[in-house]
């Protein structure tokens, strides 16, 4: 098997995640889809690392994870405060610039 | 001595400022302040005149530089005064006659509660006129020019409670604006042509300038002169300006406003000498106006309007003379001065008559007044003899010279212009005799019962004609003396000619007819005019109601249809123009603007749907954009 | 470890890829299409575990472990925590509200996938070095060597980023109290002023049998009173209705009594609620 197949898998997962962002209205699910996209990228980096025979790809993936962790913390905080003010976690409910 | 020049203007300007700012507490003495300062200006003028006489003929130009008004690169506007023989003549006329009119006004306006303001305006008028004639450059002259326009507006509309006076003031102002535009264009042309508008540089550079340029400048100056001097085609304001108090009419007609145009042309003689086409137009305008004014004067029953027509006609003479070039400049100014005397006297006399007749102006309700107001009769009569050119009086000398000069122009033009001037002389004799006869001779038509509608006029009932007080008659007497002797005095040894020659230049034309013939012809015209007038108004009683008259008479009563012409051509034309412009504006301009706005509105209405506020919608566009970027990258790689 | 350096992978890895790859895709699809957020989160966790296995298979041992510990362990738990906070049973309606959104999204998704796959297929990925040599001194040691030398700045900056994120999250969720908290006395006075519920709110539960907090107390006519349930449960729609049960019990009790007393059945007309009569 050619390791390029991993890349195809990563592309597929990324696209599924992106489509999910567009389709789902629940902010938490949207957020999960974003995490899915990040993970797909990580997979691609790891595979590239293997292809090129150095560890830089893995370092990038590692940093991505750290940044994703930070992003999740802030993003979820936003979702919680949004839910608190609107009693809803739907992204469509926040379609006006004021409450 | 130069330093006195600014004082000439400063005195009346100070008077105007004090009287207009001072308020009611000056009501009691205001008229005397005005008269005093005007007289002070005259005294200063006299001192300067004596000073000038003490110098040699070539050294009689005094320049006083006050300060630089607008120093911008080559645009150097100085406040500089020039006093030479020409300005001196005007200064003496303006301040002299002006002071007499001030004095007269003290009596005439005695019962007017706004007398102080009136004197303030009179002083302002004098100051503006002095600035006009003393300026050493066209820009400063323009300031005085506009000042005269403003003062005339204020004075003509002095009795602003009368709608007719307010309208007349507006009319005078608007018509003058047309002329002012001409002057401002002329100044701009001068600046682009000569790089300056001071008299010295402008006249010095005339030689090297194309004739077309000079003709354009000359025609613009003529337009300006037409506006101020009430020449055809900008003459229509003069008759209506009679709505102002009579001293104002005297001031405008004799000493100040209308002479400004003649001054401008004579002052710009260097330009006109180099532009014969412009000169020809000037003579044509003068000739047409002198006949126009005379015809109007023949038909008017309003004494002031008859005199106004006369002024128009006499100014026509001066403009005609000024257009003749060096052979006429001196006589234009001479006639201007003598006219200043007798026309001021005539107007003051008319004012005196009105004063005694409850402000009645219709000559058909006068008659036989010589018994009741003898001084007015005598002074008015002397003015009358002077204006018709009775031998030995001022008008005779000055007018005769102009007619001679017109013939001396030579060629067909000379014959036409001279003929027009002769006809004008006859007409002058006719209408002035008519005024004289209708006012002072014949039946006493003002008596109730004899007049048609004399009763109840102005609520005064039957008037009680009486002589005016001394303060009014003294100026009239002084002016009468001037009317009688000025011409003779000026002509004695060609005194006036030698006085003005260094400024205006002079040359004797080659008249196809001898001077004696011209004088004879003038006399014949004079006698014919007087005789016809006598036949019509002296032998027969004057009907109290104006007869229907011939077509020409009726037209002349309507000022030869000048207002109708203006109305039809300018007002109607303007209305049609604006209406069509409004139509174009509504359909084309608004259509384009509104169409653009509507199309943008429609487009944005559709585009707005993209901005629905849903984050997911925006995410779709982002994602689509990313897909396109990937596609573009792949395409670039494939290529 | 040596086989990782090979140009192609082993059959075992290929098998593992095809099996687990399918699981990952299905998990991802489920994440997107599950109606309940909890289910989505669980599916995502599954996908992430599969990805962790793939990391391990690709020689990224450290990342594989971190993926499981940090991602599946910490982050996904954070997700579940928030899901619980927001409402675990609140199902997301899959009906689209924005016109054309779903079709556009699918079109873009398919187009993007096709382009991406084509791009990968088009790329010249012939060189395949393998991770073996890089991992020769141990994967963690290799990563550490890189992180603390070449990427030390990035590493430090991520530290700053994490702190910022932590502070940011606190700021976002912290609510400043702008007015003084009302005392009990003031609350009581407010109640008197409003004229509603002067006494304390009724307690939940019906008789002694049901004292669970999500069961509404019954009014004398047998209808449930929403007031007795806490507001949070009410807003989530998690109130259990046991009124019918109670009425049924009552009916059964009466019937048994009648049988014992040998009486004819009497319709309990008065005790029947209008809605139930309609049913």
| Token pair of B494 as six digits | 């060609």
Summarize the confidence of residues C100-108 as an average pLDDT.
87
A26 interfacial to chain C (CB closer than 8 Å): yes
Chosen from B610, B611, B620 to mutate, greatest number of chain C CBs within 10 A: B620
Of B612, B613, B616, the CB nearest to A22: B616
**Total residue length of chain B:** 639
Judged by average pLDDT, the poorest of B517-521, B527-531, B600-604, C8-12 is C8-12
**Residue A76 domain flag:** yes
**CA of B304: how far to CAs of B149, B244, B351, in Å?**
21, 10, 9
Instruction: Tell me the C-alpha distance between B75 and B440, whole Å.
Output: 58
How many structural domains is chain A composed of? 1
Q: What is the 3-state secondary structure (H, E, C) of chain C?
A: CHHHHCCCCCHHHHHHHHHHHHHHHHHHHHHHHCCCHHHHHHHHHHHHHHHHHHHHHCCCHHHHHHHHHHHHHHHHHHHHHHHHHHCCCCCCCCCCCCCCHHHHHHHHHHHHHHHHHHHHHHCCCCCCCCCCCCCCCCHHHHHHHHHCCCCHHHHHHHHHHHHHHHHHHHHHHCCCCCCCCCCHHHHHHHHHHHCCCCCCCCCCCECCCECCCCECEECCCCCEEHHHCCHHHHHHCCCECCHHHHHHHHHHHHHHHHHHHCCCCCCCCCCCCHHHHHC
Instruction: Tell me the C-alpha distance between B84 and B78, whole Å.
Output: 18
Evaluate the CA torsion angle B453, B456, B459, B460 in order and state its sign: positive
Evaluate the CA torsion angle B140, B143, B145, B151 in order and state its sign: negative
Instruction: Tell me the C-alpha distance between B446 and B366, whole Å.
Output: 5
Summarize the confidence of residues B169-173 as an average pLDDT.
91
- Beta pairing partners, C218: C224
The pLDDT value recorded for residue B96 is: 92
Summarize the confidence of residues B92-103 as an average pLDDT.
92
Instruction: Tell me the C-alpha distance between B547 and B533, whole Å.
Output: 16
SS3 at position B81: strand
Instruction: Tell me the C-alpha distance between B360 and B549, whole Å.
Output: 23
Instruction: Tell me the C-alpha distance between C130 and C59, whole Å.
Output: 9
Contact A9 C60 (CB under 8 A): no
Alpha-carbon dihedral angle through residues B121, B254, B35, B245, given to the nearest 10 degrees: -50
The pLDDT value recorded for residue B454 is: 42
Residue C156: pLDDT above 90?
yes
The pLDDT value recorded for residue B3 is: 84
Going by C-alpha positions, the residue among B546, B205, C113, C69 that lies closest to residue A19 is C113
B67 interfacial to chain C (CB closer than 8 Å): no
Rounded to the nearest integer, the mean pLDDT of chain A is 88
pTM value?
Answer: 0.63
Residue bearing tokens 């982050």: C75
The pLDDT value recorded for residue B602 is: 93
How much is the CA Rg of chain A, to the nearest whole Å?
Answer: 17
Asked if residues A33 and A20 have their Cβ atoms less than 8 Å apart, the reply is yes
Residue B246: pLDDT above 80?
yes
- Closest Cα in chain A, distance from residue C189 (Å): 28
Rounded to the nearest integer, the mean pLDDT of chain C is 81
**Residue A21 domain flag:** yes
Contact A96 B612 (CB under 8 A): no
What confidence category does residue C240 fall into, taking pLDDT thresholds of 50, 70 and 90? confident
Asked if residues B420 and B407 have their Cβ atoms less than 8 Å apart, the reply is no
Instruction: Tell me the C-alpha distance between B510 and B515, whole Å.
Output: 11
What confidence category does residue C211 fall into, taking pLDDT thresholds of 50, 70 and 90? low
What confidence category does residue C5 fall into, taking pLDDT thresholds of 50, 70 and 90? very low
Asked if residues B209 and B194 have their Cβ atoms less than 8 Å apart, the reply is yes
What confidence category does residue C188 fall into, taking pLDDT thresholds of 50, 70 and 90? confident
Going by C-alpha positions, the residue among B314, B207, B297, B213 that lies closest to residue B258 is B314
Residue C89: pLDDT above 80?
no
Residue bearing tokens 């508008």: B197
Instruction: Tell me the C-alpha distance between B620 and C104, whole Å.
Output: 7
Judged by average pLDDT, the poorest of A13-27, A74-88, B614-628 is A74-88
Q: For B470-508, what is each residue's pLDDT tens digit?
A: 888 899 999 999 888 888 888 887 888 888 888 888 888
Q: Which residues on C lie below 8 Å from A71 (Cβ)?
A: 165
Alpha-carbon dihedral angle through residues B628, B629, B632, B637, given to the nearest 10 degrees: -140
Judged by average pLDDT, the poorest of B154-168, B371-385, C84-98, C179-193 is C84-98
Contact A25 B619 (CB under 8 A): no
Q: Which residue of C has its CA nearest to A79?
A: C82
What confidence category does residue B562 fall into, taking pLDDT thresholds of 50, 70 and 90? confident
**CA of B175: how far to CAs of B172, B441, C241, in Å?**
5, 37, 98
- Closest Cα in chain A, distance from residue C21 (Å): 7
Evaluate the CA torsion angle B173, B177, B178, B182 in order and state its sign: positive
Instruction: Tell me the C-alpha distance between C262 and C265, whole Å.
Output: 9
- Residues sharing a CB contact under 8 Å with residue C86, sequence separation 6 or more, in sequence order: A28, A79, A80, A83, A89, C37
CATH code for the domain of A72: 1.10.287.3510
Going by C-alpha positions, the residue among B511, B504, B91, B94 that lies closest to residue B330 is B504
Tell how strand C217-218 and strand B75-83 pair up: unpaired
Instruction: Tell me the C-alpha distance between B173 and C84, whole Å.
Output: 89
The pLDDT value recorded for residue C217 is: 76
Q: Which residue of A has its CA nearest to B627?
A: A15
Query: C212-237 in b/e burial notation, b at 16+ Cβ within 10 A?
Result: eebbbbbeeebebeeebbeeebeeee
- Closest Cα in chain C, distance from residue B603 (Å): 20
Instruction: Tell me the C-alpha distance between A68 and A58, whole Å.
Output: 15
Instruction: Tell me the C-alpha distance between C107 and C165, whole Å.
Output: 35
| Token pair of B414 as six digits | 């000379």
Summarize the confidence of residues B339-361 as an average pLDDT.
88
Q: For B27-50, what is each residue's pLDDT tens digit?
A: 888 889 999 999 999 999 999 999
Summarize the confidence of residues B582-589 as an average pLDDT.
91
Q: Which residue of B has its CA nearest to A18?
A: B623
Q: pLDDT exceeding 70 applies to what percent of chain B?
A: 98
Instruction: Tell me the C-alpha distance between B408 and B406, whole Å.
Output: 5
Instruction: Tell me the C-alpha distance between A62 and B587, whole Å.
Output: 69
- Residues sharing a CB contact under 8 Å with residue C250, sequence separation 6 or more, in sequence order: C271
Q: Which residues on A lie below 8 Å from C235 (Cβ)?
A: 87
What confidence category does residue C226 fall into, taking pLDDT thresholds of 50, 70 and 90? confident
Instruction: Tell me the C-alpha distance between C72 and C190, whole Å.
Output: 49
- Residues sharing a CB contact under 8 Å with residue C156, sequence separation 6 or more, in sequence order: none
Asked if residues B433 and B529 have their Cβ atoms less than 8 Å apart, the reply is yes
Counting one residue from chain B and one from chain C, the pairs whose CB atoms sit within 8 A come to: 35
| Token pair of B210 as six digits | 């194309």
C-beta atoms surrounding B223 within 10 Å: 23
B639 interfacial to chain A (CB closer than 8 Å): no
Instruction: Tell me the C-alpha distance between B429 and B520, whole Å.
Output: 15
The pLDDT value recorded for residue C88 is: 58
Most confident listed range (B91-105, C80-94, C170-184)? B91-105
Summarize the confidence of residues B59-79 as an average pLDDT.
86
Angle at B622 between CA B621 and CA B626, to 5 degrees: 115
Q: Which residues on B lie below 8 Å from A97 (Cβ)?
A: 613
Contact A13 C47 (CB under 8 A): yes
**Residue A91 domain flag:** no
Going by C-alpha positions, the residue among C156, B619, B559, C114 that lies closest to residue A18 is B619
What confidence category does residue C35 fall into, taking pLDDT thresholds of 50, 70 and 90? confident
Burial degree of B472 (CB within 10 A; 0-12, 13-18, 19+): buried
Residue bearing tokens 């990427």: C151
Query: B283-314 in b/e burial notation, b at 16+ Cβ within 10 A?
Result: bbbbbbbbbbbbbbbbbbbbbbbbbbbbbbbb
C-beta atoms surrounding B611 within 10 Å: 10
The pLDDT value recorded for residue C31 is: 92
Summarize the confidence of residues B168-179 as an average pLDDT.
91
DSSP B80: E
Contact C105 B620 (CB under 8 A): yes
What confidence category does residue C93 fall into, taking pLDDT thresholds of 50, 70 and 90? low
End-to-end Cα, chain C, rounded Å: 71
**Residue A99 domain flag:** no
**Residue A51 domain flag:** yes
Higher pLDDT, B566 or C37: C37
Contact C70 A65 (CB under 8 A): yes
B622 interfacial to chain A (CB closer than 8 Å): no
Half-sphere exposure of C158 (CA within 13 A, CB side): 20
The pLDDT value recorded for residue B447 is: 77
Going by C-alpha positions, the residue among C128, C12, C64 that lies closest to residue A39 is C64
The pLDDT value recorded for residue B222 is: 93
The pLDDT value recorded for residue C94 is: 64
Residue C1: pLDDT above 60?
no
**Contacts for B492-501 with beta carbons within 8 Å, 24 or more apart?**
B496/B330, B496/B333, B496/B334, B496/B337, B497/B330, B498/B57, B499/B85, B499/B89, B500/B85, B500/B86, B500/B89, B500/B329, B500/B330, B500/B333, B501/B57, B501/B330
Rounded to the nearest integer, the mean pLDDT of chain B is 87
* Element at B78 (helix H, strand E): strand B75-83
Alpha-carbon dihedral angle through residues B482, B485, B489, B494, given to the nearest 10 degrees: 100
Instruction: Tell me the C-alpha distance between A40 and A83, whole Å.
Output: 29
Q: Which residues on B lie below 8 Å from C101 (Cβ)?
A: 614, 616-617, 620
Domain that holds residue A26: 4-86
The pLDDT value recorded for residue B461 is: 63
Instruction: Tell me the C-alpha distance between B541 and C274, whole Å.
Output: 121
């Amino acid at each position: 098997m050619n390791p390029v197949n991993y890349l195809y898998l990563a592309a597929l997962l990324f696209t599924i995640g992106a489509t999910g962002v567009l389709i789902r209205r629940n902010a938490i699910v949207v957020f999960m889809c974003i995490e899915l996209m990040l993970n797909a990228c990580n997979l691609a980096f790891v595979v590239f690392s293997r292809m090129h025979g150095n560890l830089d790809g893995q370092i990038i993936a590692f940093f991505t994870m750290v940044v994703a962790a930070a992003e999740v913390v802030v993003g979820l905080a936003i979702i919680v405060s949004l839910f608190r003010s609107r009693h809803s976690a739907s992204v469509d409910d926040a379609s006006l610039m004021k409450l | 001595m130069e330093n006195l020049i600014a004082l000439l203007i400063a005195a009346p300007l100070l008077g105007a400022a004090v009287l207009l700012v001072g308020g009611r507490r000056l009501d009691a003495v205001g008229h005397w302040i005005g008269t005093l300062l005007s007289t002070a200006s005259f005294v200063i003028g006299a001192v300067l005149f004596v000073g000038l006489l003490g110098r040699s003929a070539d050294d009689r130009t005094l320049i006083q530089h006050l300060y630089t008004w607008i120093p911008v690169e080559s645009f150097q506007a100085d406040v500089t005064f020039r006093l030479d023989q020409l300005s001196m003549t005007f200064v003496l006329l303006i301040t002299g006659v002006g002071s007499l009119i001030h004095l007269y006004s003290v009596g005439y306006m005695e019962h007017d509660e706004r007398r102080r303001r009136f004197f303030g305006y009179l002083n302002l008028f004098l100051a503006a006129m002095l600035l006009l004639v003393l300026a050493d450059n066209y820009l400063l002259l323009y300031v005085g020019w506009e000042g005269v326009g403003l003062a005339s507006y204020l004075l003509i509309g002095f009795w602003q409670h009368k709608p007719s006076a307010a309208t007349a003031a507006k009319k005078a102002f608007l018509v003058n604006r047309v002329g002012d535009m001409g002057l401002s264009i002329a100044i701009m042309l001068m600046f682009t042509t000569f790089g300056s508008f001071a008299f010295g540089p402008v006249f010095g550079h005339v030689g090297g300038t194309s004739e077309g340029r000079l003709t354009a400048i000359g025609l613009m100056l003529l337009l300006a002169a037409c506006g101020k001097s009430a020449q055809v085609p900008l003459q229509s304001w003069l008759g209506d300006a009679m709505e102002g108090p009579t001293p104002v009419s005297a001031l405008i007609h004799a000493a100040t406003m209308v002479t400004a145009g003649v001054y401008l042309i004579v002052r710009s003689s260097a330009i006109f000498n180099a532009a014969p086409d412009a000169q020809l137009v000037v003579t044509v305008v003068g000739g047409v106006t002198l006949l126009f004014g005379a015809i109007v004067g023949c038909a008017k029953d309003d004494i002031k309007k008859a005199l106004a027509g006369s002024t128009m006609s006499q100014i026509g003479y001066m403009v005609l003379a000024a257009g003749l070039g060096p052979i006429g400049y001196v006589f234009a100014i001479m006639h201007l001065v003598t006219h200043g005397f007798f026309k001021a006297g005539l107007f003051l006399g008319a004012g005196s008559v009105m004063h005694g007749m409850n402000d009645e102006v219709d000559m058909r309700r006068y008659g036989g007044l010589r018994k009741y107001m003898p001084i007015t009769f005598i002074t008015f009569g002397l003015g009358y003899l002077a204006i018709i050119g009775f031998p030995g009086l001022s008008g005779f000398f000055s007018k005769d010279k102009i007619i001679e000069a017109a013939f001396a122009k030579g060629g067909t033009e000379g014959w036409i212009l001279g003929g027009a001037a002769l006809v004008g002389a006859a007409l002058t004799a006719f209408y002035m005799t008519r005024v004289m006869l209708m006012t002072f001779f014949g039946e006493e038509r003002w008596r109730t019962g004899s007049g048609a509608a004399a009763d109840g006029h102005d609520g005064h009932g039957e008037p009680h004609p009486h002589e005016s007080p001394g303060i009014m008659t003294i100026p009239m007497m002084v002016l009468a003396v001037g009317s009688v002797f000025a011409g003779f005095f000026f002509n004695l040894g060609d005194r006036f000619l030698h006085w003005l020659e260094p400024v205006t230049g002079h040359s004797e034309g080659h008249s196809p007819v001898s001077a004696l013939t011209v004088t004879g012809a003038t006399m014949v015209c004079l006698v014919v005019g007087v005789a016809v007038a006598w036949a019509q108004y002296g032998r027969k009683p004057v009907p109290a109601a104006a007869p229907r008259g011939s077509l020409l008479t009726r037209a002349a009563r309507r000022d030869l249809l000048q207002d109708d012409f203006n109305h039809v051509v300018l007002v109607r034309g303007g209305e049609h123009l604006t209406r069509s412009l409004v139509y174009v504006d509504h359909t084309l301009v608004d259509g384009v603007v509104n169409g653009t706005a509507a199309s943008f509105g429609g487009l944005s209405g559709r585009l707005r749907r993209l901005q629905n506020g849903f984050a997911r919608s925006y995410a779709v566009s982002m994602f689509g954009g990313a897909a396109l970027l990937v596609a573009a990258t792949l395409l670039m790689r494939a290529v | 470890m040596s086989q990782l350096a090979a140009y192609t992978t082993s059959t075992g890895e290929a098998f593992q890829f095809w099996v687990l790859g399918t699981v990952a895709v299905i998990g991802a699809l489920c994440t997107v299409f599950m109606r309940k957020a909890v289910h989505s989160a669980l599916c995502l966790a599954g996908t992430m575990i599969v990805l962790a296995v793939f990391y391990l298979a690709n020689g990224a041992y450290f990342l594989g472990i971190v993926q499981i510990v940090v991602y599946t362990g910490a982050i996904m738990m954070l997700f579940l925590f928030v899901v619980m906070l927001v409402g675990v049973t609140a199902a997301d309606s899959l009906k689209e509200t924005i016109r054309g959104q779903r079709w556009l999204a699918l079109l873009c998704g398919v187009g993007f996938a096709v382009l991406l796959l084509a791009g990968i297929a088009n790329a010249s990925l012939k060189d395949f070095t393998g991770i073996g040599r890089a991992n020769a001194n141990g994967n963690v040691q290799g990563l550490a060597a890189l992180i603390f030398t070449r990427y030390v700045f990035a590493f430090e900056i991520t530290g700053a980023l994490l702190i910022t994120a932590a502070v940011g999250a606190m700021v976002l969720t912290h609510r400043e109290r702008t007015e003084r908290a009302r005392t009990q006395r003031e609350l009581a006075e407010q109640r008197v002023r409003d004229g509603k519920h002067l006494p304390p709110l009724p307690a939940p539960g019906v008789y002694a049998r049901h004292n669970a907090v999500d069961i509404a107390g019954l009014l004398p006519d047998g209808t449930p009173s929403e007031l007795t349930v806490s507001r949070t449960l009410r807003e989530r729609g998690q109130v259990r209705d046991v009124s019918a049960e109670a009425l049924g019990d009552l009916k059964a009790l009466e019937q048994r009594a009648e049988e014992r007393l040998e009486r004819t059945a009497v319709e309990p007309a008065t005790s029947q609620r209008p809605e139930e009569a309609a049913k």
